[in-house]
Amino acid sequence: MLSCKQASQLISQSLDRRLSLRERFALRLHLLICDVCERFRQQLLLLRDMVHKLRSHAEQDADVQLTAAARQRIAARLEHSPKPESGGY
């Protein structure tokens, strides 16, 4: 049985990568009995959705502009950062 610490780590990781079948099963079992971890999972999903909406809104807002230098710095950082696996809970 997973501890809450292990469950919270898997919940967080599930936003960046697809969990293994064993991890998903263990996490679902834990979430069935732990309201606190289920609430944590719901809060992380809500935060992720809010960030996506905020980003979408900022991209459509003509008043939000980055300088060319800022765009280049961001692109360079993204190029050299590790790529997360796609997936989710």
The tens digit of pLDDT for each residue in 14-44 reads 999 999 999 999 999 999 999 999 999 999 9
Assess contact for 26 and 2: CB atoms under 8 A. yes
Q: Give the CA radius of gyration of the chain.
A: 17
For 8, other C-beta atoms within 10 Å of its C-beta total 19
The whole-number average pLDDT for the span 35-61 is 89
Tokens of 53: 């909406």
Domain boundaries, the chain: 4-76
Per-residue pLDDT at 84: 61
Q: What is the DSSP string of 58-77?
A: HHH-TT----HHHHHHHHHH
CA atoms within 13 A on the CB side of 64: 8
